[in-house]
Structure 1
Amino acid sequence: MSFVLTRRPLAIAVTVALLGPGSALADQNQSIEQRLAELEARVTASERRASQAEQRAAQAEAALQKQQNSPQLVQQSAGEEELSAGSIPSQVREEEGEGEGLSMSVYARSGLLIGSDRKSAPGGPYLTPAGRSGGAVGRLGNEPDTYVETVFDYNQRFENGAHSLYRIMLADGTTTSNDWTADESQLNVRQAFVEFSDLPSFTGAFENASIWAGKRFDRDNFDIHWLDSDIIFLAGTGAGIYDISVTDSWDTSFSLYGRSFSNYPVVTDEQPQLEGDTDNLILTSNNRFGPWQWMVSGMSANDNDERDNDPRGGIPGDNVADNGFHTMLAYHGDSFFGMGEGTFKTALMYGHGLGGEVKALGSDGNLTEDANTARLAIYGTTYLAPKWRLAPALLAQTSHDRYADGDRYDWVTLSARLANELTENFEMQYEASYQWMDLDPSGYGYEDGNGNEQVFQSVNGGYTKLTIAPTFKPQVGGFWNRPEIRLFATWSDWDEDLNNFSNNDALGSDEFTGSEWTFGTQMEVWF
């Protein structure tokens, strides 16, 4: 029983004392029993809020204790299709508190990258030919851009215990080094949504569920920060429900996202080319079984198969996908592959048709109806010694019939970030990356905005990058401590054949054909 019911005489006395005899006579139509019921409801809501506050405090205390006992796990939390467009690492986002009122979080980086000729140098994690199909390489000492995103959250707790979150994210990115970049600005609202949780009327399997609607990054996205690559990135505009408890060990979530394919040429009998557009609708079921995650998605984009592919190098236009599916099986480990303290994550993905873009889910409207893609992602974090930490990663993909019949995009990236914490404010960071690729575009190409046709060539070979980066920070310790300021020197080399993939990319361009040295400085911050 509640506090009110077990102490009814006392509650009646308190109520009469508060209301006064005059008020009681004036409100004869409202019985004392009704007032007691209202008082009981308020007490119950207060008890619920107190219980939730105790749970949050216990979680925070447990996290602090874990941090103090295990320096390897100082991974607190503070999310593009590539991280070059997004942001605070998933390990940081996973432990965000909800608080109340208005709060702000930030991810930002800004760097200068110059070659040995003292000119600006090409860079970026997707620099290689494999980058066009998602093949990222290590990002340390390899980013020439300025990217900023700011998230504003407004959290509100209601008297009945319900909670609401409103979020808006502003983002901008540019590669120019100037202080005034309005002409190159890509300022954009990347998220604008509202989410409700702790709803008292949600009971049974829905007791811990939350609902949302708007434009957002899906909560269950996660990434390999050191490659600037999401493992899975689901985003768009739509609605969903999180955390339906099917059983004690099985939670499921459902979402419907829309992504727009627009401004592409279509063919009709009356007029050869018109501008078309359609929405790709993505229906997803995301299931969690303890550390296991199983994700299944179906996609449909009506009229997308009417797109005219001729500007892409003479490829027939009747094989573009207008539907597809995607699935992912992932494991989120709480140790370093069972060998010691740390973390690891691994995911195996497969997609067909519009699901053939297995990372940035539903974002590529050029995929054929026969496209098939499989990808494996593995990475971990651990301390090798009290002052030495290591973060290895593997990312591999095979894809065929992706954009043209008979094409093939196969690549594997191996990367490792190593850091040596020398003082409280200084550490040395090192990164090594190797990427092997075997790409056969099978005549696929495209027409750029200036009417120039670009056709890709088959290439095979490897790309190597080595970076050393002296790094300053207010306090070292842990993989996710920021902000930091880095100086760096990077050496990269690649097989000559890779220069032939395209006459419109960095590799093979003037004075950038292999065995390149680049130097620079960069800041990175999140909170």
Structure 2
Amino acid sequence: MMIKPRYLAVAIGLILSNAAVGAESSPLDIEARLNAMEKRLQLAENRAAKAEARASEAEKQVKQLETRTANNEIQTREVARTAEKTQQQAANVAQRTETLANNEKSTSHGDDGFKFSGYARSGIIMNDSGASTESGPYVTPAGQTGGAVGRLGNENNTYVEVNLEHRQTMASGATSRYKVMLADGQRSYNDWTGATSELNVRQAFVELGSLPTFTGAFKDTTLWAGKRFDRDNFDIHWLDSDIIFLSGTGGGIYDVKWGDNLKSNFSLYGRNFDDLKDDNNNDTRIENYIVTANNFAGPMQWMLSGLRGKNNQQRENDAIQGRSNAAETGFHTMLAYHGDSFYGLREGTSKTALLYGHGLGAEVKALGSDGRLTADANTLRLATYGITPLSKDWSIAPAILAQQSKDRYISGDDYKWVTLNARLIQKITDNFELAYEGSYQYMNLDPRGYNSYNKVSGGFYKLTFAPTFKVGDISDMLSRPEIRFFASYMDWSKDLDNYSSSDAFGTDGFTAGGQWNFGIQMETWF
């Protein structure tokens, strides 16, 4: 029997093992054992071969998986690059679309496009006899120098302002604004008042803002030119009196920023006084120019203006006491505080201003509007008002306006007056309130015979009760529109009837001793 070499070592081991056990084993037993061992070894070899085949197959599959994974990573990177390109292309398309939209249709911006706004008041007023009566915020003798009294239940005119605007924002970010205002005032109750109409274009101007080439202090400034009311005028609504009213035709720049909390406005306004007659009875046009620097530091405002009306000194003011010539130059200044509380005491708002003017600047409210002021004229004015809620159903708005003006039209004249006013609002429902207003004005006027006016002194008071309907926020004293029914009682010192034969006091049916006025009025703004 031939023993395979690879089993020789095993056979020798078995022989030696059997020899150690005993010599009783025969060669046949050894051969049988060898054959059995060979079978076991073959089985083991087959299992090993199969295991090697499976391992080889697994290795092959791993390599295939690695190949597919690598291919997937390459495809993923390619997809990512493609997506990135697609996003960039989409962004470029969006940018081009936005640019085209900005160039072709500026109304895509929130404030762009056309805007219509306005103000109006209109009503009827009569006395307790059902007849016409005198009225108006400037009805007293002090009204000729700006002494306003409470307006509630004291107006009989129709006044309308209509504003049309167009705003546009360019692709560069620059803005433009065009505005025109039409206004008309009328005292007739008729529906057709063309013969007495005062229709007028009060404003027509253009603004250019946020010019991208403007940098530093001029970044985000606004240039303007045309006919306009100054942007930063402000008033006491309850008196129908501006605290400062600067207007005319000219140009300027708003919001020159010197720091985070400091900015200035600069402007040049032109106005016209009445023409003068020369020796040949020819008209000489007198133009008044106003240069203004309006400076703001937080809630503080300081305004400084210079005025010049060449040849206006040729104007003469006649009076019983003599004659005075008008001024050719002047200056004006105002220091104001714009509060965000009720004088620091409680919630609300308040504004206070101290104004001084000399020469042509002595008309401190409607700056540059009075050409008869003398070169020595001096005027000092204090104006203040506030608004605050007293409770959820009550609100109050007090105001003080006081002025002294000397050498105003005639050397030695003196006009002193002070107005105290308060409006109180009581909420009844969300659409109905009761309005109460009280005014008192004291005046001491010595015109020195100018325009045949007489020296007078005394007091005036007015009380008004006005049930009011409105659709806006009833707790907001300045929300409009509203419709008022009113009853007003006014009286004044008898001496005031003698101030002038051409003013309201002392006329037939309107003398000291008490006057009742009744009426209805609407007021709106938007």
TM-score, with length taken from structure 2 = 0.79
**Secondary structure at 1:262 match in 2:** coil
Which amino acid is the alignment partner of residue 357 of structure 1? E
Identity score, percent: 55
Deviation, structure 1 residue 398: 0.4
Alignment of 1:64-463 (within 5 A): 99-266=111-278, 268=279, 271=280, 273-310=281-318, 315-317=322-324, 319-445=325-451, 455-463=452-460
Deviation, structure 1 residue 10: 5.2
How many angstroms apart in 1 are the aligned matches of 2:374 and 2:88? 76
Higher relative contact order (CA 8 A, sep 6+): 1
> 1:378-420 CA distances to partner (integer Å, 9 max, x unpaired)?
1000001111010000000000000000000000000000010
How many angstroms apart in 1 are the aligned matches of 2:128 and 2:387? 33
Aligned residues of 1:265 and 1:308 also touching (Cα < 8 A): no
Deviation, structure 1 residue 14: 3.7
Match of 2:482 among 481, 484, 501: 484
Deviation, structure 1 residue 368: 0.3
Point out the more displaced range, 472-481 or 407-416. Answer: 472-481
CA 1:160–1:387 in structure 2 vs 1: closer, same or farther (change >3 Å)? same
Deviation, structure 1 residue 12: 12
Which amino acid is the alignment partner of residue 357 of structure 2? G
**Secondary structure at 1:477 match in 2:** coil
Which amino acid is the alignment partner of residue 471 of structure 1? T
Structure 1 unaligned blocks of 5 or more: 1-8, 19-37, 54-97, 446-454
Which amino acid is the alignment partner of residue 248 of structure 1? D
Which amino acid is the alignment partner of residue 371 of structure 2? G
Number of matched pairs: 436
How many angstroms apart in 2 are the aligned matches of 1:526 and 1:442? 42
Aligned residues of 2:274 and 2:371 also touching (Cα < 8 A): no
Aligned residues of 2:268 and 2:289 also touching (Cα < 8 A): yes
Deviation, structure 1 residue 300: 0.4
How many angstroms apart in 1 are the aligned matches of 2:466 and 2:256? 45
Structure 2 unaligned blocks of 5 or more: 1-83
Report the counterpart of residue 35 of structure 1 in structure 2. Answer: none
Report the counterpart of residue 473 of structure 1 in structure 2. Answer: 470
Question: Which protein has the bigger helix share?
Answer: 2
Aligned residues of 1:123 and 1:143 also touching (Cα < 8 A): yes
> 1:249-305 CA distances to partner (integer Å, 9 max, x unpaired)?
210110000001133445x3xx4x543321100000000000000000000000111
Report the counterpart of residue 26 of structure 1 in structure 2. Answer: none
Aligned residues of 2:425 and 2:477 also touching (Cα < 8 A): no
Aligned residues of 2:161 and 2:182 also touching (Cα < 8 A): yes
**Secondary structure at 2:486 match in 1:** strand
Report the counterpart of residue 518 of structure 1 in structure 2. Answer: 517
Report the counterpart of residue 78 of structure 2 in structure 1. Answer: none
> 1:342-400 CA distances to partner (integer Å, 9 max, x unpaired)?
00000000000000000000000000000000000010000011110100000000000
Deviation, structure 1 residue 13: 7.5
CA 1:200–1:11 in structure 2 vs 1: closer, same or farther (change >3 Å)? farther
Aligned residues of 2:321 and 2:448 also touching (Cα < 8 A): no
CA 1:11–1:262 in structure 2 vs 1: closer, same or farther (change >3 Å)? farther
Deviation, structure 1 residue 427: 0.3
Which amino acid is the alignment partner of residue 438 of structure 2? A
CA 1:211–1:420 in structure 2 vs 1: closer, same or farther (change >3 Å)? same
Deviation, structure 1 residue 189: 0.2
CA 1:13–1:118 in structure 2 vs 1: closer, same or farther (change >3 Å)? closer
**Secondary structure at 1:138 match in 2:** coil
> 1:479-503 CA distances to partner (integer Å, 9 max, x unpaired)?
1111111000000000000000000
How many angstroms apart in 1 are the aligned matches of 2:450 and 2:346? 46
Which amino acid is the alignment partner of residue 465 of structure 1? K
Aligned residues of 1:344 and 1:381 also touching (Cα < 8 A): yes
> 1:185-242 CA distances to partner (integer Å, 9 max, x unpaired)?
0000000000011111111111121100000000010000000000000000000000
**Secondary structure at 1:169 match in 2:** strand
How many angstroms apart in 2 are the aligned matches of 1:280 and 1:158? 37
Which amino acid is the alignment partner of residue 383 of structure 1? P
How many angstroms apart in 2 are the aligned matches of 1:397 and 1:458? 17
> 1:315-344 CA distances to partner (integer Å, 9 max, x unpaired)?
435x31010000000000000011110000
How many angstroms apart in 2 are the aligned matches of 1:315 and 1:157? 59
Which amino acid is the alignment partner of residue 316 of structure 1? R
Aligned-residue CA RMSD (Å): 2.4
How many angstroms apart in 1 are the aligned matches of 2:354 and 2:410? 24
CA 1:335–1:13 in structure 2 vs 1: closer, same or farther (change >3 Å)? closer
